[in-house]
Amino acid sequence: MITLTHFLVVGACIFAIGLYAVIARRNAILVLVGIELMINAAILNLVAFGRYDSTRYGGQAFALFAIVLAAAGVAVALAIILNVYKHYKTINPEDINKLRD
Amino acid sequence: MPLPTLTYPVLAAVSAVLLPFVGFLLQALMGKRSQNGAIALITIALSLLAAGYTFAQVWGNEPIHVQWRWFTIGQQVFYVGLLLDNVSVLMLLLVAFVALPVHAYSVAYMKGDSGIHRYWTYLSLFCSAMLGLVVADNLLLMYVCWELVGFASYLLIGFWFTRDAAAAANKKAFIVNRIGDIGFLIGFAILYSFLGTLDLNTLFGQEGFFATASGAEASGIIAHPKIPAGWLTTAGLAFFLGAMAKSAQFPLHVWLPAAMEGPTSVSSLIHAATMVAAGVFLLARIFPLFDDTALLVIATTGAVTAFVAAYFALTQYDIKKILAYSTISQLGFMMVGIGIGMYQLALFYLVTHAFFKCLLFLGAGAIIHELQHLNDKHQLGIDPQDIRHMGGLRKYMPITFVTMLIASLALAGFPLTAGYLSKDALLIHAFEWAALQNDASVAIPYVLAVASILTSFYILRLLAKVFLGSPAIGVMTSARPHEASAWMLVPMLVLAACSLFPLFTTSPLNYGQAWLLQKILPMAALPPLPLLHVLVPLLTTMATVAMTLLVWQWYVKQKYPLKAGGLFFRLSQQQGYVDVFYDRIVAAAVLRCSNVLFWVDKHIIDGAVNGLAALGRILAAIAGWVDQRLVDGFVRLVGKLAWGLGNVLRRSQTGRLQDYMASVFFIILVILLYHLIVQA
Amino acid sequence: MNPHLLTILIFIPLVAAMIMFIVPSGKRAAYKYIALITGILQLVLSGGMYCLFHPKGAGISEERLYQFVDHIPWIRLDMGSFGRLEIDYFIGVDGLSMPLLFLSALVMVVAIGASWNVQKSVKGYFILLMILDMAVMGVFSALDFFLFYVFYELMLLPLYFLIGIWGGARREYAAMKFFLYTLFGSVFMLLIMVGLYFSVTNPDTGAHTFNMLHMMNPANYVNGSFFSALANQELFGISARLLGFVVLFIAFAIKVPIVPLHTWLPDAHVEAPTPISIILAGILLKVGGYGILRICFSIFPDAALQSAWWLGLIGVVSIVYGALVALAQRDLKRMIAYSSVSHMGFVLLGIASLTTEGTAGALFQMVSHGFLSAALFFLVGMLYDRVHDRNIYHFRGLATVMPRYTVFIAVAFFASLGLPGFSAFIGEVFVIIGAFNAESINGLLPRWMAIAGSLGILLSAVYFLWTLQRMFFGQVRLKGGNVWSAALTDASPRETVIMVPMLALALVLGIYPALALDKINASVLALVELITK
């Protein structure tokens, strides 16, 4: 039988993979992918916990809301990446360190 | 209080004192424009007239006492006034009478001196102060005049101030006199402290504080109930200290021989006849004050002085020094007179001595004047005061010789002179007094007798060396010194006449008949020893004759048996090394002390002050160091710490998004872990 | 008669200083003439007041017995729980201050006369001199402690600059030493003053007061207050009143000065320019003696009686020590400075005796020393002006070169050493008599102190006569040779005009001391009565 715990473990794994991608990848697109993975991990959790709210389906509703937001976010993020590329001629986050003091 | 009525004698006495003072002021204002001394001469002559009038009016009558308010201090009123009694009018007359011939003499003696205007000014000041001294009615006023005569004497001793010796001598005179002044001051401070007054009449008059004590028991004064016996003695000794300095008693006599640096006319008036006698006069004035202890000290000091000074006089070569020591010696005689309670005799001797000693100095002055003249004319380069350069002057200056002879005989106490009357009276009474004593003080009259014989010797030696024999300098015979001018001779003759007996008594051999003694005060009764009255005069006269023969043999016949240079000779020649002692020991000790104190001042006291300042500076330096290093250091440490920390933290600012994300994640992880652990 | 004469007397110099301030600094001569006119005006005014002064006006502790009184509320500040601050502009004159006021006016004229040849920044010099003048007058007439303190401190400042700028080679050292010494005393005086303020109330208003006359009356002390005689408070185991007395005494004694607090004096005198030496010796030292009488003794009579023995001892030590050290000096000015220490010792001895003779003698001695020391410093200045040397050993036979100068200096020397006929004699003799009397009248001083003090009279003769002999008598021998003998001209008319009145005054006071004593007596009696009753 698949319990809540199984969902949570899968979610955590996805989150960890996404986190790894965000921190370690050398490509901004893949970082963005990592972010999407972490969002999806969160959505999975929402849906999994949604089972306990069978009257109002708050979990599912919130998951849908998050998916839409993530899509919008990706759009903005891709636009930023494009602009970064235009400016720096690279999308490797290692090389973009203008924020350094 | 109402002004006292001015009777004629008072007016005369006041003018006698003030006339010379007016003279002094006039001459001081005129300065160099008054050269001939006319002002001084006229004022002193008028003063003598006034003094004579006062004397005639007061002598033998009731004393006159007038006073005016001088100033008030607190509630105590001090007066300035005159006390005219037998003693003071006698002294008034004496001073004026001796001063006039000396003034006249000075006209010739000081002629041509470049500072002569000063001479007359000072002389008038002296006369005024001295006359004021004798008539003053209270001790404060007396003290004022007492110091002023000392001041005038200072000025006159240093008259030739370009000579170093004169400048040293007047300093010495003033300082030694100052020692005495302090005695005087302490003396009257004691009296004032216990009795509340300084008025002579209230203190010593007929109904004064000491009246009951004196009179009947002349020498056995009971302590006044208001003064403890110890303080009474102290007061007596303090006054005596004053008299010792002024009257040149051993060991405070050193200033008088030195004072001979002044002009000889000054020496004759001030340092022989009048001022030095002021000490004796003071003691006579306050005589009832003295108790037995004080009197014994006075008598002893007097006897020692009489002998020691006579001894010093034996070997001196300077004619004025011989006379100076002679003066000291005779003042010692007078002190003995006071000490044995016979102050009348002391005063009598003071009067007679004034005449013949003044005359001796004037005679010496005439000789010095003449020798100085020769010296200048022939370029001899000799000391005109050295008797070794004189000799045989009798031929050239016969009148001087005769007058000097009279004076010398009077000094030696030869019959028919005034000195015989007074000195032998003193000696006789000293013996009578000694008969009542039963301790060592019986020696006093014997010492006096020896001193008296020595006196005969040295004065005859002087005469012989100066006037007899043959001239010591060859020039003398050709240059032919001559008598001094009439201005100098007449005063000498007047004084010579006064040195003989007729002025004082009609019976030349009995002092008891002297009018002076009969009037001053009834003589206190010592048990008379009739034998002495014959024996003493006889013996002293014989001694004088013997001395004459001896001197004739030694100095005129040139058969001098002694070797110069023996211990006793040197001791006498060097005046007992008293001066040396003062210079090398006393003065040196004072100077040493003052230098040590100055060192203390500079190094210890000022050192402490500077040390305090240095300490302050050190403290300030420490505080500054603390401020800079510790306080400021802490502040800078904080700053540095912040800077260093920042430096470390800036490393984390890589600017890479992923690093930031990692750290955010890491921090969240830490927070989560923290919660996990805390909640567990 | 203008009721504000005293105020006018005090503030004339201030007006003069303001005028000087306006006058452009190009007109150098103008300043000294303004100063001279001010000085003479003050002299005439104070002389007039001296004549008007009624000899029966005792003063001391009763306001109605003071004369020329000006009493105006000055500072009234409500201080909440501390009560109302009551400071008055309260001035007046009695027998203690009247002679000193006249003396100050006279010495000021002499000092201005001696400043005639000042070259360095004339404007500043005379303005400071005027401020000093005002402060001095104020000190002698203030009867409010606060006012007194203000004038007292105000006196210090101009002096510091006058010594520090116009002085000799070591002027900075001397000025600093003088300033610190005096400040040391006055700072503690401030403490005592505040303590007294909180202990004393004005019986009319009930407020705390700085009025000195109220401080003299034991009834005005607040119950249990610090300085109340009844409360008998103690601090460090010493009675508070004794402590207050001692501290005030030290403050004033530094000014007198006493041994061993005297070492500022020789340095200050030697380094100060002549006119400032004259003011220092002539006036400043008297502020010390005056303060002891007016403040220490009057406010703390009980403590004064307790410590009279020590005061007498200090006086005697000062007399003898000062005289002995004077004997060791080679610098003429320094010698005279030490002689001042000795002569001011007499003042202390006389005051300590607490007899009428001694106290009046001390006051008289202050006045007399004022004239004489001013004259002496002026004379030294004359010599220094000519050859810029003061070493006694560098001169000999000056009497031949400068006869009139020698007459002046001889008269001044003899007057100082107490020759009868001059004022110092009266002062010293009555101090000695008073000290001698003390044992039988109030038993405060033993007689040996008087005898030891009289040694000073002897020693003063020694050093003065030695100097006369060394410098003035004998054959002419000068260190500077012909250059000097050409430079050493006799006293000029200006110098003669200054010297003669000073010496004449010393003479007049010596011959007829009643001139001063008649004004002093009533106050001295009242003072002695106040203290020893």
CA distance C431 to C450: 8
| CB-count exposure of residue A75 (10 Å: 0-12, 13-18, 19+) | exposed
Residue B563 and residue B606 in one domain: no
In a domain, A77, yes or no: yes
Q: Which residues of C touch B138 (CB under 8 A)?
A: none
In a domain, A17, yes or no: yes
Note the pLDDT tens digit of each residue in C104-116.
Answer: 999 999 899 888 8
Sign of CA pseudo-dihedral C337, C353, C141, C138:
positive
pLDDT for res B220 = 43
Cβ atoms of B15 and B79 within 8 Å: the answer is: no
In a domain, C293, yes or no: no
Residue B208 pLDDT more than 70? no
Residue B647 tokens, joined: 């430096």
Tell me the nearest-neighbour CA distance from B658 into chain A, angstroms.
5
Residue C257's pLDDT band (boundaries 50, 70, 90)? confident
Residue B528 pLDDT more than 70? no
| Cross-chain Cβ contact A100/B653 below 8 Å | yes
In a domain, C437, yes or no: yes
Of B108, B137, B166, which residue is a domain's last?
Answer: B137
Structural domains counted in chain A: 1
CA-nearest residue to B166 within chain C is C474
CA distance B544 to B86: 34
If you average pLDDT over every residue of chain C, what do you get? 87
Residue B385 and residue B298 in one domain: yes
pLDDT for res B637 = 92
Is 0.90 surpassed by the pTM of this model? no
Residue B537 and residue B558 in one domain: yes
Residue B303 and residue B366 in one domain: yes
Domain coverage including residue C531: 308-533
Residue B369 and residue B314 in one domain: yes
Residue B507 and residue B379 in one domain: yes
Of C381, C378, C373, C291, nearest to C340 by C-alpha is C373
Q: Which residues of B touch C421 (CB under 8 A)?
A: 144, 148
Q: Which residues of B touch A24 (CB under 8 A)?
A: 658
Tell me the nearest-neighbour CA distance from B644 into chain A, angstroms.
16
Residue with the larger pLDDT of the pair C533 and B295: B295
Which of C171-193 are b and which e, b meaning 16 or more Cβ less than 10 Å from the residue's Cβ? bebbbbbbbbbbeebbebbeebb
Backbone angles phi, psi at B81, to 5 degrees: -165, 180
CA distance C517 to C505: 14
Of B650, B655, B658, the CB nearest to A23: B658
In a domain, C361, yes or no: yes
pLDDT for res A9 = 93
If you average pLDDT over every residue of chain B, what do you get? 83
What average pLDDT does this structure show over C119-132?
Answer: 89
In a domain, B205, yes or no: no
Cβ contacts below 8 Å, chain B against chain C, sum to 147
Helices marked H in C200-294: 212-215, 240-255, 264-271, 274-279, 285-291
In a domain, B248, yes or no: no
Cross-strand pairs, B66: B82
pLDDT for res B225 = 64
What average pLDDT does this structure show over B344-357?
Answer: 86
Cβ atoms of C139 and C151 within 8 Å: the answer is: yes
What average pLDDT does this structure show over C464-482?
Answer: 86
Going by C-beta distance under 8 Å and a sequence separation of 6 or more, which residues neighbour residue B8?
A: B53, B57
Of A19, A97, A101, the CB nearest to B656: A97
| Cross-chain Cβ contact A96/B656 below 8 Å | yes
CB-based contact (8 Å) between B656 and chain A? yes
Residue B641 pLDDT more than 90? yes
Residue B17 and residue B35 in one domain: yes
Q: Which residues of B touch A23 (CB under 8 A)?
A: 658, 661-662, 665
Residue B288 pLDDT more than 90? no
In a domain, C257, yes or no: no
Residue B351's pLDDT band (boundaries 50, 70, 90)? confident
Contacts of B659-662 with C-beta under 8 Å, sequence gap 24+, read B661/A22, B661/A23, B662/A23
| Cross-chain Cβ contact B182/C457 below 8 Å | yes
Residue with the larger pLDDT of the pair C501 and A72: A72
Going by C-beta distance under 8 Å and a sequence separation of 6 or more, which residues neighbour residue B1?
A: B69
pLDDT for res C485 = 82
C104, C499, C55, C364: CA torsion to nearest 10: 80
Tell me the nearest-neighbour CA distance from B393 into chain C, angstroms.
34
Structural domains counted in chain C: 1
In a domain, A95, yes or no: no
Structural domains counted in chain B: 3
Q: Write the Ramachandran bin of B484: left for phi over 0, alpha for psi from -120 to 50, otherwise beta.
A: beta
Of C393, C406, C402, C405, nearest to C478 by C-alpha is C393
In a domain, C453, yes or no: yes
pLDDT for res B476 = 66
Residue B500's pLDDT band (boundaries 50, 70, 90)? confident
Chain C: list its partners (3+ Cβ pairs within 8 Å): B
Of B534, B555, B573, which residue is a domain's last?
Answer: B573
Domain coverage including residue A48: 4-88
Residue A75 pLDDT more than 90? yes
Q: Which residues of C touch B147 (CB under 8 A)?
A: 419-420, 425
Residue C158 pLDDT more than 60? yes
CA-nearest residue to B647 within chain A is A101
pLDDT for res B224 = 53
Backbone angles phi, psi at B341, to 5 degrees: 90, 5
For the ranges B485-499, B631-645, C450-464, which has the lowest average pLDDT?
B485-499
Of A19, A23, A100, the CB nearest to B654: A100
Cβ atoms of B152 and B24 within 8 Å: the answer is: no
Tell me the nearest-neighbour CA distance from C243 into chain B, angstroms.
23
Tell me the nearest-neighbour CA distance from C15 into chain B, angstroms.
39
Cβ atoms of C30 and C23 within 8 Å: the answer is: yes
Residue B353 and residue B469 in one domain: yes
pLDDT for res B216 = 42
Looking up residue A49, the CATH number of its domain turns out to be 1.10.287.3510
In a domain, B309, yes or no: yes
Residue B536 and residue B626 in one domain: no
pLDDT for res C107 = 92
CA-nearest residue to B158 within chain C is C473
* CA B503 vs CA B88, B507, C70: distances in Å: 19, 11, 74
Q: 3-class SS at C19?
A: helix
Of B158, B185, B597, the CB nearest to C324: B597
In a domain, B483, yes or no: yes
Of B653, B654, B665, the CB nearest to A19: B665
| Cross-chain Cβ contact B76/C473 below 8 Å | no
In a domain, A12, yes or no: yes
Residue B416 and residue B463 in one domain: yes
Q: Which residues of B touch A99 (CB under 8 A)?
A: 653, 655-657
What average pLDDT does this structure show over C313-340?
Answer: 91
Helical (H) or strand (E) element with C203: none
Q: Which residues of A touch B653 (CB under 8 A)?
A: 99-101
Chain B: list its partners (3+ Cβ pairs within 8 Å): A, C
pLDDT for res B217 = 45
| Cross-chain Cβ contact C469/B606 below 8 Å | no
For the ranges A34-48, B180-194, B635-649, C193-207, which has the lowest average pLDDT?
C193-207
Residue B559 and residue B661 in one domain: no
For the ranges B130-134, B498-502, C380-384, which has the lowest average pLDDT?
B498-502
Q: Is chain A in touch with chain C: ≥3 Cβ pairs within 8 A?
A: no
Residue with the larger pLDDT of the pair A49 and B32: A49
| Cross-chain Cβ contact B662/A23 below 8 Å | yes
CA-nearest residue to A21 within chain B is B658
In a domain, A96, yes or no: no
Residue C119 pLDDT more than 50? yes
In a domain, B12, yes or no: yes
Note the pLDDT tens digit of each residue in C424-445.
Answer: 999 999 999 999 888 888 888 8
Helical (H) or strand (E) element with B396: none
Residue B438 tokens, joined: 């039963």
Of B121, B137, B153, which residue is a domain's last?
Answer: B137
Of B172, B149, B353, B404, nearest to B266 by C-alpha is B149
What average pLDDT does this structure show over B177-191?
Answer: 89
Residue B541 and residue B587 in one domain: no
In a domain, A100, yes or no: no
pLDDT for res B210 = 72
Residue B520's pLDDT band (boundaries 50, 70, 90)? low
In a domain, C319, yes or no: yes
In a domain, C230, yes or no: no
For the ranges B203-217, B358-372, B635-649, C259-273, which has the lowest average pLDDT?
B203-217
Domain coverage including residue B6: 1-137
Q: Which residues of B touch A98 (CB under 8 A)?
A: 655
CA-nearest residue to B182 within chain C is C454
Residue C321 pLDDT more than 80? yes
In a domain, C65, yes or no: no
Of B655, B661, B665, the CB nearest to A98: B655
